[in-house]
Amino acid sequence: MLTVGSLFSGIGGLDLGLERAGMVVRWQVEIDPACIRVLERHWPKVRRYGDIREINPAELEPVDLLCGGFPCQDVSVAGKRAGLAGRQSSLYWEFHRIASGLAPRWLVIENVPGLLSSQKGRDFWIILDSLVELGYGVAWRILDAQYFGLAQRRKRVFVVGHLGEPWSAPAKVLFEPESLPWYPPPRRKAGKAVASLLASGAGTNRPAGIASEVDFLGAEVAPTLTWGGTGARGWKVSAEQAADGALVAHPITTRADQRQEPTSDTYVIQDVRGHMEKRQHGIGIDDADVCYTLDATSRHGIAHVFPTLRGFGHGWQGQHWDDAVRAMMVRRLTPLEYERLQGFPDGWTAGESDTARYRMLGNAVAVPVAEWIGRRIIQVHEWLWGR
C-alpha cells in the first residue's frame, strides 16, 4: 500500500479520503491545538509534528505520497490577495522544502480556486514552476464536491504531481478519456439533497417536526426574513437588519401538537446574520438542492417555509390550509450537518466547542473528493509500477 505524509493536516480530510482509497497515513503535521486533538482521536498511533517551519525533512519517515492544503487566506478572492508573499499562503514554500527533502513519488496539493488568479496568475505559475524544478510532472483541475455525493457546492483546485517519467501520470489521475461519472451535473429536483440531509437527523437543535415558537434554535438566532415575492430568491433580509446586524427570529405561528406538519420548502442561506462578508458574492439565499460553500467564518443556515392554519391566533376556523399565509423557521446548520456536508463520519469533531468545530470543518477538505483522487493515484501507480 502507498504511504502518506500529511502537511497542514487540519482535521484530516485529505488523510481520511486517501485512507479510504487504500493508503496508509504515516505522519501528520498540524499546529492548531483543536485540530491536533481531533487527529489524535482518529489516528492515535500516527506520529504528529507541530510547526512545519521547524521540521527537518531528514527526520521524517520517507513516504510514497506527500499531501497538504497550505493556507489559502492570501490567495482567496475573499481575502486581501497578498498572494504567496502573504504571511499565511507563503507557507507553501514549507511544503516545497519538505517535498524537496523527501522526494516522494506523488504530491497532492489542495487550495481554493482563487489560487489560479492570485497576482494575475503569477502565483500559480510560480508553484507549478517550482514543482517542475524538483522533477515533478504536474496536472491540476478544479473539482466540485457536489458531484461527489455531497449536498454542498465546493469548488477546490487540486494539483497532482508525479516524480520523473512519465510526466503524463498526473493527467491520468485527474482526467479520464470520457467525462467523469458526475459530469455533467445530473438533473435533480431542487431541495431534495438538503432536505434529505436534514431529515436523517442532525443534532439536538434540529426540530423533529415543527417546533413551537423558536425553542429549536437553542442559542442560535437568525435575521427575520420577509416575503419579497415568489421564486427561488423570494426571501430577503431588510436593509435595516443588514445594516445593524439585528439578530431576531421569525416566530412560529402554529404548534406541532395542534396539527400535522404540511410539506415545507427548504431554502439554504449563506449567512443567517445577513452580513455581506464576502466581497465576491455576499449573502445568498436559494432553494437549490445543495448548500453554499462552507467556510470558517460564515454562519450557514436553513429556512423551512410552510403553510399555517388559517386564522390562527384569531379563533379556530377549522382545519383549512391557506397557502397565502406562510410561516418560516430559520436556523444555523449544526456542526453535525457540517460534518455530513464535508463527508466526515458523524461526530468526527465532537468534544470541541461549536465555534472550533465550525471553523475546522469550514477549512476542511471534502473527504469523497480526496478519496476519488486517492483511488485514481493507486490505479495509475499500479499501472506504472505494478503492485
Residues in the chain: 387
Q: What DSSP state is assigned to residue 365?
A: P
Q: How far is CA 207 from the centre of its chain?
A: 24
Residue type, 234: G
Kindly report the three-state secondary structure assignment for every residue of 304-361: EEEEEECCCCCCCCCCCEEEEEEEEEEEECCHHHHHHHHCCCCCCCCCCCHHHHHHHH
Active site residues: 72
Kindly report the three-state secondary structure assignment for every residue of 175-223: CCCCCCCCCCCCCCCCCHHHHHHHHCCCCCCCCCCCCCCCHHHCCCCCC
- By the 10 Å C-beta count (0-12 exposed, 13-18 middle, 19+ buried), 80 is classed as exposed
Contact 382, 316 (CB under 8 A): no
Distance (Å, rounded) from C-alpha 193 to C-alpha 205?
Answer: 20
